[in-house]
Amino acid sequence: MGRFSTCCFTTPVSKTSSKQKQKHPQRSGEAMESQPTNNANDDSAVRIEDHNTVNSSTGSATNIIINSDFSMGLHSWHPNSCHSFIVSAESNYPEGTSTNSVGNHAVVTNRRECWQGLEQDITSRVSTGSTYFVSASVGVSGPLQGSADVLATLKLEHKDSETSYFFIGKTSASKERWEKLEGTFTLSAVPNRAVFYLEGPAPGVDLLIRSVVITCSSPKECENKRADCVTAVDEGIILNPNFEDGLSNWSGRGGCKIVLHDSMADGKIVPQSGKVFASATERTQGWNGIQQEITGRVQRKLAYDVTAVVRIFGNNVTTATVQATLWVQTPNQRDQYIGVSNVQATDKDWVQLQGKFLLNGSPAKVVIYIEGPPPGTDILVNSLVVKRAEKIPPSSPPVIENPAYGINIITNSELSDSTNGWFPLGNCTLGVGTGSPHILPPMARDSLGPHEPLSGRHILVTKRTQTWMGPAQMISDKLKLFLTYQVSAWVRIGSGATGPQNVNIALSVDNRWVNGGQVEINNDRWHEIGGSFRIEKQPSKVMLYIQGPAPGIDLMVAGVQIFPVDREARFKHLTRQIDKIRKRDIILKFSGAGSSSMLGGFVKVKQTQNSFPFGSCINRSQIDNEDFVNFFAKHFNWAVFGNELKWYWTESSQGNLNYKDADDMLELCTKHNIETRGHCIFWEVEDTVQSWIRSLNKNDLMTAVQNRLTGLLSRYKGKFRHYDVNNEMLHGSFYQDRLGKDTRANMFKTANQLDSSATLFVNDYHVEDGCDTRSCPEKYIEHILDLQEQGAPVGGIGIQGHIDNPVGQIVCSALDKLGILGLPIWFTELDVSSVNEHVRGDDLEVMLREAFAHPAIEGIMLWGFWELFMSRDNAHLVNAEGDINEAGKKYLALKQEWLSRAHGHIDEQGEFRFRGFHGAYTLEIASFSKKVVKTFVVDKGDSPLVVTIDV
């Protein structure tokens, strides 16, 4: 998609009124010129050859309407206080309308006022002084006699004047045919917001829209004007960005002072660029800093880049985090804080801070400020620039020649040539021993299949004086970029250990540590170690090494394997597994008075929704963005709140409760029939616990914990299907350390007493990837059993799933182990990360297929999907401004793959049989005498499901 400009908006955004207009004001020639054209009898529809380009009498021109032919559903379109949906041509909705229809069309229904219709924001794609031609193919349906008017209208919002509405054109439409609506408009003044929409028929009459085209009469002129606007806006978002005009437009946040300097520290600190810089001094809070209001100079749903040059000074602090933050005040006076980016700054040099942000709602006030270091430390700012984010072209799929799947890249893995190819890392000694296992470790065996026995020889590492000492091998020239490699080995430790020992297979990639897998050893047996890695940027040097036991402890390593993983081969196996556990045989049995006439009739079965839970994390600000809400409601059926139910959010200071955000989000989910998980009641990691809780004595903390349980679960009783009771207990112990070992089980017991309808989960990370010994499946099982022995009603196992370069066999091994507990397992926070969208999509496919194919998995929650609103970079499926990337397309393709379709004829027994996924279906039966449409639901079950269809 081409780059769209913001078109010189330098005035504050107006507050959008919830009260809708009742009639249009008279056309104002000063603001816009409009020339309507009525072609009521023209049956020819606008034929769209491309989503963005049409051929017109003025030559080739760009269509500024996004998704003009509804081929992407309702993407970028929004119903105005009514409802809308997309209908394909072959579905023949409504009866008798446009029998020659081609492609999709939108149906706007539940209209209670004539002005209700379908709209699209075109603010960033129009400019002043240019003439735009409008052509739309429209129709009507519903309770009307004769015809009804359909109008094209432009709504213009201004800061200092009332919203105005301008008539573009109209046509008279009837139920028998599509009509063309045409008109033109010209903007002579710049609004804060321009919205195009179609409206007009009487209440109760559905409005049908097949295509909309808006083109500029002089495309090159329009592009030039928009390009000029971009430059003006980019330069005007931050006023006086380099302090060339002193401290004009800048102020100190929270009462701190800002001072202009040409140098500091006896001339040791000078500007990196320009002649001056500013400092925020006399800071008494971490959030004190330098700020500028940018209200009206940034627009909602547009992405902006932020670049600042910063450093710190004073208070004997040599390094500190410096952060750019947005303070946003909503029209209803609610405060939002958006972290843009942060950087580790020093007192030695200037550093660049870079980030990106997007506003979901229409703000009343926006302030950007720099904050972060401890009180008493000055923040120095040389420049701060905000500009529209450039559209980044999608990444190309990586081309990997001869991937050599399953081929071990390790030299002399079997030690047939002594230790040739290996070298000691550090002053340890390498030798060769015998007696190691002759079979591959299980996870590698699952990947490689039948394999020659191992030699039984192993590397013996002695005289180790440092933890990192062990066998190493250079593999720089053997790796291919973007290939996922599985790591496997047998490891064992010698005698003398005083406690459990951590053994790690690691890689040094240009001196950057990469984790290839870890295992904890507390006996003298051989242990499997497995993991994975991928390199996405060409390295100059890559070294493999094995490390871990305490100094003085001998290390034994056998059968080291590093090989590329064939994901496609694994997918074939998973497809067979999915068919077994996610589908069911269905027999449609036709009965009733008309059943005999239906024998031999044609049956068409289409699944409308898979009942398997696919959910996502959402946050409060996102639900102000209708594009986000539309995508979320269409493609997910479960939700979890990222922060808004956590204790530090609902009670950041003692006694001041905030449930408004969670209430709003819950209301949205209820409206769209989306189930919700409660995340989380407590969080065991101390850094996540608010300071007022950390300051409580034992008795007061016990009271606070009880109040938290009572307040949260009583308020939302029956509304959250799950709760993560105490998050990440394998990685933290704040409450257990202060309140005793039984406090965790008591949290579960009390939660169950307060809301017995909710399933109570444990929830932790790195369970499935082999890279964290604290949360390996064995430790997780031990933890859950310990809770159950104390009477905790643990009802589900949460695996967060923040994973890199996943290997299906490793993930499946963890699920198999946890499955022995017989509890439902959910991926609760799944995300994958890669700069390359295609690779990211491949990683996501691995995780979704593995989860969907495993009988113990009962739901998958993504930890977000929209850029700038996820905890990890390069993990999004939808870009900030709503474009679906390659990873998002992979997700949608899998959702489609897991919907069943079938067709055929009713047999002589009056039955139709097929095998389909669990979920909701529609059924169409057509015979010579009639056509019948029915719906039915397929539940889980091992035996064939007989569905009686009364015809």
Query: What is the C-alpha separation between 720 and 674, in angstroms, rounded?
Result: 11
**171, 184 Cβ separation under 8 angstroms:** no
Distance CA(621)–CA(619), nearest Å, equals 6
More confident residue, 917 or 95: 917
Residue 511: is its pLDDT beyond 60? yes
179, 644, 829, 845: which is the annotated catalytic residue?
Answer: 829
CA-closest candidate to residue 557, choices 421, 672, 413, 404: 413
According to DSSP, the β-strands at 179-187 and 251-253 are: unpaired
pLDDT band with cut points at 50, 70 and 90 for residue 44: very low
Q: Is the domain of 718 the same as that of 796?
A: yes
Q: Is residue 710 part of a domain?
A: yes
**pLDDT-based confidence at 220, cuts 50/70/90?**
low
pLDDT of 408-463, one tens digit each? 999 999 999 999 999 999 999 999 999 999 999 999 999 998 889 999 999 999 99
pLDDT interval class at 16 (50, 70, 90): very low
Residues 667-688 pLDDT 10s: 999 999 999 999 999 999 999 9
Q: Which residue among 388, 406, 434 closes a domain? A: 388
Residue 82 CA from chain centroid, whole number: 28
Q: Is the pLDDT of residue 27 over 70?
A: no
pLDDT at residue 158, rounded to an integer: 75
Asked if residue 587 lies in contact with residue 945, where contact means CB atoms within 8 angstroms, the answer is yes
Angle at the Cα of 693 (from 692 to 696), degrees rounded to 5?
Answer: 95
Whole-number pLDDT of residue 46:
28
**The pLDDT of residue 74:** 85
Shared domain for 821 and 911, answered yes or no, is no
Residue from 581, 676, 582, 680 nearest 637 by CA: 676
For residue 54, tell me if it sits in a domain: no
Closest by Cα among 784, 788, 832 to 808: 832
Instruction: Return the pLDDT at 249.
Output: 95
Structure-model confidence comparison of residues 49 and 860, the more confident one: 860
- Three-state DSSP string of 285-317: CCCCEEEEECCCCCCCCCEEEEEEEEEEECCCC
Q: How many domains does the chain have?
A: 5
Percent of the chain whose pLDDT exceeds 70: 89
pLDDT at 124: 80
Please write the tens of the pLDDT for every residue from 767-805.
999 999 999 999 999 999 999 999 999 999 999 999 999
Instruction: For 834-885, write each residue's pLDDT tens digit.
Output: 999 999 999 999 999 999 999 999 999 999 999 999 999 999 999 999 999 9
**pLDDT per residue over 921-938, tens digit each?**
999 998 777 788 999 999
Do 642 and 759 fall within a single domain?
A: yes
* Mean pLDDT of all residues belonging to the chain: 89
CA contacts within 13 A on the Cβ side of 457: 13
**Confidence band, pLDDT 50/70/90 cuts, at residue 21:** very low
Average pLDDT over residues 510-523: 95
| pLDDT for the residue numbered 85 | 87
Strands (E) located in 808-856: 825-830
Q: How high is the pLDDT of residue 663? A: 98
Structure tokens at 804: 């890199």
Q: What pLDDT digit, counting tens, does each position of 596-620 carry?
A: 767 778 999 999 999 999 999 999 9
> DSSP characters for 371-402?
E-SPTTPEEEEEEEEEEEPPPPPPPPPPP-S-
Q: Which of 16-25, 102-111, 840-849 has the lowest mean pLDDT?
A: 16-25
More confident position, 865 or 950: 865
The region, left, alpha or beta by phi > 0 then psi within -120 to 50, assigned to residue 711 is alpha
Q: Is the pTM higher than 0.85?
A: no
In a domain, 121, yes or no: yes
SS3 158: coil
Asked whether residue 501 carries a pLDDT value surpassing 90, the answer given is yes
Report the C-alpha gap between 357 and 336 in whole angstroms: 13
Question: Which residue in this structure is represented by tokens 């249009």?
Answer: 24
Residues 688, 749, single domain; the answer is: yes
Task: Count CB neighbours of 39 within 10 A.
Answer: 15
Task: State the pLDDT confidence band at 26, using cuts at 50, 70 and 90.
Answer: very low
Pairing of strands 335-346, 319-329: antiparallel
Shared domain for 826 and 740, answered yes or no, is yes
Q: What is the mean pLDDT of residues 351-357?
A: 97
Check which CATH number belongs to the domain holding 761 and give it. 3.20.20.80
- 389-413 tens-digit pLDDT: 988 888 899 999 999 999 999 999 9
711-729 per-position pLDDT tens digit: 999 999 999 999 999 999 9
Q: 484 and 454, same structural domain?
A: yes
Q: Which of 883, 914, 938 is the last residue of a domain?
A: 883
Q: What pLDDT is recorded for position 235?
A: 52
Binned at pLDDT 50, 70 and 90, residue 165 comes out as: confident
Judgement on whether residues 680 and 791 belong to the same structural domain of the protein? yes
Confirm whether 827 is domain-assigned: yes
Cα 327 to the center of its chain, rounded Å: 23
- In the sheet with 512-521, reading across from the earlier edge strand, the strands are 423-425, 470-474, 542-547, 501-509, 512-521
Nearest CA among 20, 203, 212, 214 for reference residue 108: 203
Region of poorest pLDDT, from 88-97, 361-370, 420-429 = 88-97
In a shared domain, residues 83 and 110? yes
Give residue 176's pLDDT.
74
pLDDT tier at 28 (50, 70, 90 boundaries)?
Answer: very low
182 is catalytic: no
Q: Give residue 901's pLDDT band: very low, low, confident or very high (50, 70, 90).
A: very high
* Cα–Cα distance measured from residue 853 to residue 571, given in angstroms and rounded to the nearest whole number: 10
pLDDT score of 851? 98
Residues 587 and 622 in one domain: no
Spatial neighbors of 41 by CB under 8 A, at least 6 apart, are none
Residue 236: which H helix or E strand, with range? helix 219-236
Residue 659, CA distances (Å) to 643, 644, 750 in order:
11, 8, 21
What residue type is assigned to position 853 of the chain? A
CA–CA separation, 400 and 403 (whole Å) = 6
Residue 27 token pair: 């056309």
On the question of a cis peptide bond just before residue 94, with omega within 30 degrees of 0, the verdict is: yes
Map tokens 């902006």 to a residue. Answer: 304
Co-location of 847 and 873 in the same domain? yes
Rounded to 5°, angle at Cα 444 from 440 and 446 = 105
Of 698 and 27, the one with more pLDDT: 698
Interval 176-196 mean pLDDT: 85
Give the bridge partners for 293, in sequence order.
367
Nearest Cα neighbor of 869 from 680, 534, 536, 627 is 627
298 and 164 belong to one structural domain: no
Q: Is the pLDDT of residue 221 over 60?
A: no
The Cα 320–Cα 344 span in angstroms is 6
The pLDDT > 90 percentage for the chain reads 75
Structure tokens belonging to residue 941? 């079950």
The answer to whether residue 856 sits within a structural domain is: yes
pLDDT band at 17 (very low <50, low <70, confident <90, very high): very low
The domain that contains 922 carries what CATH number? 2.60.40.10
pLDDT at position 60 is: 52
State which residues form the domain around 350. Answer: 251-388
Same domain, 552 and 630: no
Tell me whether residue 62 is in a domain: no
| pLDDT band per the 50, 70, 90 thresholds, residue 12 | very low
Residue 451 in any domain: the answer is yes
According to the model, what pLDDT value does residue 594 have? 66
The domain that holds 529 is classified in CATH as 2.60.120.260
Helical ranges in 503-641 per DSSP H: 567-582, 626-635
Q: What pLDDT was estimated at residue 223?
A: 53
Kindly give the pairing relationship between strand 583-591 and strand 602-610.
unpaired
From 216, 243, 268, the end of a domain falls on 216
- Determine the pLDDT at residue 232: 39
- Which residue among 182, 728, 837, 886 is the active-site one? 728
**Predicted pLDDT at 593:** 63
DSSP letters of 13-35?
PPPPPSSPPSSPPPP-TTTEEE-
Which tens digits make up the pLDDT trace of 626-677?
999 999 999 999 999 999 999 999 999 999 999 999 999 999 999 999 999 9
Mean pLDDT of the 883-909 span? 96
pLDDT at 161 over 80: no
Q: Is residue 930 part of a domain?
A: yes
C-alpha pair distances (Å), 630 with each of 15, 46, 864: 22, 26, 15
In the prediction, which pLDDT does 98 show?
42
Contact assessment for residue 7 and residue 226, using Cβ atoms and an 8 Å cutoff? yes
Q: How many CB atoms lie within 10 A of CB 80?
A: 19
pLDDT at position 45: 29
Q: Is 221 a catalytic residue?
A: no
Written as one letter, the residue type at 6 is T
At 446 the pLDDT is 93
**How would you class 268 by CB atoms within 10 Å of its CB: exposed for 0-12, middle for 13-18, buried for 19 or more?**
exposed
Q: How many CA atoms lie within 13 A of 779 on its CB side?
A: 21
- Cβ neighbours for 100, distance < 8 A, ≥ 6 positions apart: none
